Amino acid sequence: MEKKYILALDQGTTSSRAMIIDEEGEVIGVAQEEFDQIFPKPGWVEHNANEIWASILAVIAGVLLKTNISSKEIAGIGITNQRETTVIWDKESGNPIYNAIVWQSRQTEDICKQLRKDGYEDTIRSKTGLLIDPYFAGTKARWILDHVDGAQERAEKGELLFGTIDTWLVWKLTGGRAHITDYSNASRTLLYNIYDLEWDDELLKMLNIPKAMLPEVRPSSEVYADTVPYHFFGEEVPVAGIAGDQQAALFGQGCFEKGMAKNTYGTGCFLLMNTGEKAVRSENGLLTTLAWGIDGKVEYALEGSIFVAGSAIQWLRDGLRMVRQSSDSENYASRIESSDGVYVVPAFVGLGAPYWDSDVRGAVFGLTRGTEKEQFIRATLESLAYQTRDVLYAMEQDSGISLKTLRVDGGASANNFLMQFQSDILGVPVERPENKETTVLGAAFLAGLAVGVWKDKNEIKKHWKLDKRFEVEMKEEQREDLYEGWHKAVKAAQAFK
């Protein structure tokens, strides 16, 4: 039987999905399963790693049954994952010693404060490209080792293993034969030197993490090991591609050249720009990260995150009840010519890059007696585009590369008003692909390259199909006036604390 399909596993924050992709890069079938979120204390978020594994087994079975495709026809498996979420498990039994600590969880704040106090910020920045923040995996590992009896000693003896979700899934799928991660995930740990491409002894010492528990770091596209037949309908299928979700989306969008960028409009926004084989150190509060390792070399990216994007539209729907469903926002915003000087600064949980101000809160400016629902909705949508310009401007400043086009994906990229305004406020075209499942496609493409379904990146590029290109319609003077107003609004919001 011909092996012509790739199985892509997308292990996300609230659900796991499996998709089967054919040689044309088309999605043949999808299965999805949600799992429980655990909130032990305010600001803490955890997952049961065994439940995540069970959800992965369920979606693999589900998608094969749904599509009537045999496991014998699967050429390889690609994995993309929620990044930074951390699991520590017993090497012998395979059981986690504590829940997985999720990327959003703030429970390691005290460890981060201590690192800042001890003066580690510059060391971490210069070696990892990251900031000291509970977001990243290293402090999560330290927290688990601190809070589980005997864990530190067992880790030092080599009895415990550490991994982000990709590592956990590969270990389970291969029956413990492969304890690995890829460059993109390793670069999110606070423990990996992205310049020397190795686990950094100084960083490990800083957090007192035993090297024995760390996975081997491998390219993002390579046959790592085969599945154990028991977990895959009697078949040994190569696990052949791994990338963290945002890097996978950059790959799935075909952003292979230096200076190409994508924005994923989800709950928040994640912007990544490919900076090629050179790591760009940010002076503007962006992260420097590994994009992927492939063909014997690594490529780097600049990353900026916006905390509130799609969640601002949910707020219009659920909090203010201005729209019945999120998609209605496009209709309301398009009814009027402008927001009439109204600006919404959706800093509900502070502002991310390039401001990094966790104390600022949301604000609305420019209201008059004539302000109606339409202006309010339009101004909220516009805030997503302004924040995107803030981050892209910082990327251009850091890299010296000027953006030619922005590729977009994620839920809010379906909003035509927002995409047109995004193009206008950036002054560059915005391209939306036909297949918005770019994260999954990225994982599939990485695996497919390793097992020969696709020859090279040029062949993959042909499978990126345009749905709509939004050209710039706004005059520069109007663009800059609007953007200046946004900056005034942000400054005013920051003054009110």
Question: Which residues are annotated binding-site positions?
Answer: 13-15, 17, 83-84, 135, 245-246, 267, 310, 314, 411, 415
- Assess contact for 98 and 169: CB atoms under 8 A: no
For residue 436, give both structure tokens. 């918005």
Distance between CA atoms of 196 and 172, rounded to whole angstroms? 29
For residue 186, give both structure tokens. 């390793």
Residue 254: CB partners within 8 Å, gap ≥ 6? 260, 407, 457, 460, 461, 464
- State the binding site for glycerol: 83-84, 135, 245-246
Residue 139: CB partners within 8 Å, gap ≥ 6? 108, 111, 112, 115, 190, 207
Residue 477: other Cβ atoms inside 10 A: 8
Place of tokens 């309301």: 332
Place of tokens 């994508």: 262
- State the binding site for sn-glycerol 3-phosphate: 13, 83-84, 135, 245
Q: Identify residue 228 by its one-letter amino acid code.
A: V
CA dihedral over 210, 211, 212, 215, signed as positive or negative: positive
- State the binding site for ATP: 13-15, 267, 310, 314, 411
Q: Euclidean distance between the first and final Cα of the chain, in Å?
A: 65
- State the binding site for ADP: 13, 17, 267, 310, 411, 415
